[in-house]
Amino acid sequence: MPEPLVIVNTSPLLYLYQAGYLALLKQLYGKVITPMAVKKELDAGQQQGIQVPDLSQLEWLKVVTAQSSALVPVVTDLGAGETEVLALCLENPNSLMILDDQLARRMANIYQLKYTGTLGVLIKAKQAGYLESIAPVITKFQSLGMWLSANIMSEVLNLAGEAD
């Protein structure tokens, strides 16, 4: 059953797009939203020559503006994208955030908000039958710059039923 509202941050969009798996978001969640700050981060990345998705071409993804990012306390190390994702989730408490940032996850825990990350999307995609194996996708993410500790790798592969 799809989540009431799914809010995605910059890094999951980038990794899934660059690895060729962005469509998993549509397959798993139907419609997805992202805040304007994420669009601005992607636009800035594109200007630097980074391969980013063209959000205007994704009919299942809507760019929205948070009503008040003031809902999230000022945390200097939290980026604009994370701040607006958290604000949108606070405005829509039954929603699911897809974000990888550890500080944003700590804030989500404080507010008791639901979240998953890019790797959680892969696990869900495998469970739903969209992926046979997540290990090669994770290897692709790592080649794109995603850093993962040995513990995280082990835990994720175990959750996906791919542990050695």
For 98-155, how does the pLDDT look when each residue is reduced to its tens digit (9 = 90+)? 999 998 999 899 889 999 999 999 999 999 999 999 999 999 999 999 999 999 999 9
* pLDDT value of position 1: 42
pLDDT score recorded for residue 71: 58
Q: What's the average model confidence in pLDDT over 44-65?
A: 94
- Give all strands of the β-sheet with 32-35 in edge-to-edge order: 61-64, 32-35, 6-8, 96-98, 114-116
The pLDDT, as a whole number, for residue 77 is: 76
Q: Is the pLDDT of residue 163 over 90?
A: no
The residue to which tokens 């739903």 are assigned: 128
This prediction's pTM: 0.91
Contacts of residue 33, Cβ cutoff 8 Å, sequence gap at least 6? 5, 6, 7, 8, 61, 62, 63, 64, 88
Tell me which of 39 and 80 has the higher pLDDT.
Answer: 39
Position 118 scores a pLDDT of 97
The answer, yes or no, to whether residue 3 has pLDDT greater than 60, is no
Q: Tell me which residue has tokens 């063209």.
A: 54
- For residue 75, what pLDDT is reported? 57
Domains annotated on the chain, with CATH: 6-131 (3.40.50.1010)
Residue written as token pair 């835990």:
155
Could you give the CA distance from residue 142 to residue 136 in angstroms, rounded to a whole number?
Answer: 10
Tokens linked to 10: 């910059």
More confident residue, 16 or 103: 16
**What is the per-residue pLDDT across 48-57, written as a single tens digit (0 to 9) for each?**
999 999 999 9
